[in-house]
Amino acid sequence: MRRISMTVNGTQRELEVEPRELLVYVLRERLGLTGTNVGCDTTSCGACTVLVGGESVKSCTMLGVQADGLDITTIEGLASNGTLHPVQQAFHENHGLQCGYCTPGMVMASVSLLQENPNPTEAEVRKALEGNLCRCTGYHNIVQAVLAAAKA
């Protein structure tokens, strides 16, 4: 076991993890942050996307020990004081989610996209979300939501 220290959703966390543990399982099973979902085992689907140092990372692609000293934001840390983040609000208003399983990762990837490119075109949104799979929405309303959030 190795001791690591990281900031998760603004709170300093100290914990012991196995060196082989993926960050997503550290978040889900050791910290109880089950909002970050696991949708595949090949780092293809993006359901587990979180922000590491403000940038989107698939948390199944990173070991927990690699997060030592870093700043992590998960879907649970996005809304503030009961107010949805503009991206969350836009997903709600544009019906950008159905079953909701890809949603946390999709929202985090969209937040990261809009930080890098505050006024994306539709094609840029589609390209930027290439690493996040959704089986329900056909992406139409997800793309609309991200474009709406950019205007918000």
Give residues in contact with another protein (CB under 8 A).
Answer: 18, 20-21, 28, 33-42, 44-45, 47, 74-76, 78-79, 84, 88, 91-93, 95, 97-104, 107, 122, 125-127, 129-144
Minimum CB distance to another protein smaller for 63 or for 69: 63
Beta bridge partners of 83: 80
Task: Tell me which residue has tokens 């190795």.
Answer: 2
Minimum CB distance to another protein smaller for 69 or for 145: 145
Structure-token pair, residue 73: 């934001």
In the complex, minimum distance from the CB of residue 64 to another protein, in angstroms, rounded to a whole number: 12
Minimum CB distance to another protein smaller for 72 or for 107: 107
DSSP string, 51-103: EETTEEEETTSSBGGGGTT-EEE-GGGTSBTTBPPHHHHHHHHTT--SS-SSH
In the complex, minimum distance from the CB of residue 89 to another protein, in angstroms, rounded to a whole number: 8
How many C-beta atoms surround the C-beta of residue 68 within 10 A? 13
In the complex, minimum distance from the CB of residue 120 to another protein, in angstroms, rounded to a whole number: 12
